[in-house]
Chain A
Amino acid sequence: MSIWEYANPVKFIRTTDKVLPWIAGLAAVALVIGLGWGFFFTPDDYRQGSTVKIIYIHVPSAFLAINAWLMMLVASLIWIVRRHHVSALAARAAAPVGAVMTLIALITGAIWGQPMWGTWWEWDPRLTSFLILFLFYLGYMALWEAIENDDTAADLTSILCLVGSVFALLSRYAVNFWNQGLHQGSSVMRAGAATGDTTERVSNVFAVPLFISIAGFALLFIALVFLRTQTEIRARRMRALLARERQA
């Protein structure tokens, strides 16, 4: 069985219909456990106090903000190379989800930043690249809406997606590139016992619920992309049928 079988819209809908309730259910369970554990049962941080609980929303949403765009990049490349409509529609379906994740990361970052940094916003490399990424999401969605022909829209949005990928990567690595600004570098991937370095890494007390929360956000993203891709496939078919009707 080849992965390209799922480029068939009927096959895609049939398969995702079967797995969607399971993924959505797992997402709900992981989110309730991850966020519930993080909010109710983790201690305050010795420096950040109870604001550390924002990490269970801020980090997963930021992770998804970047990775949703990378998923759109892969789908766009598949469209450009192989012209599979399902991949273009999957990229379109993922954009609003990625935009909301970016918005959540920006809002929770600002709310967290105010008491910790003394400011809601700073033109820091990571914050700025995240804001630009959010604007790219809005531009991407607007471009899809603005062009009537689906194939032309898929072509142009794919190009926009390639350009925006620079900012998606920049928002991940901005801190490393410039090594300045208020936002700290990544400490999450240094969590746990895998590394011997204990400085500036997230303690396991916070890391375990955080990873469960990240899994919950990722599963929610997959469930929403499946549901929204099904919707885009059906909407495209409806437009085609109505156009055929008009011509007849």
Chain B
Amino acid sequence: MMPELGKYAGTVLSAYGASIVLLVVLVAASWRRARKVKAALAKVENPDG
């Protein structure tokens, strides 16, 4: 399944690896903050609920 990357395997894999890590961190951080802020606002708007 893995393509034959030859002598540049490290180059290609490190480029993909670094990019995917950065994208995953960005998506996860955005998602986490969205949930956190939504819950905090609900608490402020409805402190008894």
**Pairwise interchain contact B31-A227, C-beta atoms closer than 8 A:** yes
Size of B's binding interface in residues, CB under 8 A = 29
Q: Given A39-B3, A96-B26, A241-B45 in contact, is the A230-B34 Cβ separation under 8 Å?
A: yes
A94 to B7, CA, bound (A): 38
**Pairwise interchain contact A50-B27, C-beta atoms closer than 8 A:** no
A36 to B26, CA, bound (A): 20
Q: Given A228-B34, A235-B37 in contact, is the A107-B19 Cβ separation under 8 Å?
A: yes
Partner of A58, one of B15, B33, B37: B15
Kindly state whether residue A178 has any CB partner on chain B within 8 Å.
Answer: no
Partner of B15, one of A54, A100, A235: A54
The residues in A between 209 and 245 inclusive whose CB is less than 8 angstroms from any CB of B are 220, 224, 227-228, 230-231, 234-235, 237-238, 241-242, 245
Count of A-B contacts with CB under 8 A? 94
**Pairwise interchain contact A108-B37, C-beta atoms closer than 8 A:** no
Dominant SS among interface residues on chain A: helix
Dominant SS among interface residues on chain B: helix
Stretch of A110-118, A121-129, A136-144 on the interface side: A110-118
Q: Given A50-B5, A57-B16, A241-B45 in contact, is the A112-B37 Cβ separation under 8 Å?
A: no
A50 to B33, CA, bound (A): 38
Kindly state whether residue A49 has any CB partner on chain B within 8 Å.
Answer: yes
**Pairwise interchain contact B30-A51, C-beta atoms closer than 8 A:** no
Size of A's binding interface in residues, CB under 8 A = 37
A24 to B31, CA, bound (A): 12
**Pairwise interchain contact B34-A231, C-beta atoms closer than 8 A:** yes
Partner of A40, one of B1, B11, B14, B33: B1
How far does the Cβ of A53 sit from chain B's closest Cβ, in whole Å?
Answer: 5
Kindly state whether residue B6 has any CB partner on chain A within 8 Å.
Answer: yes
**Pairwise interchain contact A100-B22, C-beta atoms closer than 8 A:** yes
How far does the Cβ of A51 sit from chain B's closest Cβ, in whole Å?
Answer: 5
Partner of A227, one of B12, B14, B18, B30: B30
Which 8 A-B pairs have CB atoms at the shortest separation, nearest pair first? A50-B5, A111-B15, A108-B15, A231-B34, A54-B15, A57-B19, A234-B41, A238-B41
Task: Name 17 extra pairs, CB < 8 A, besides A53-B5, A228-B30.
Answer: A35-B16, A50-B8, A51-B11, A51-B12, A57-B16, A57-B19, A61-B19, A97-B26, A103-B22, A107-B22, A111-B15, A111-B18, A228-B34, A231-B37, A234-B38, A238-B41, A242-B44
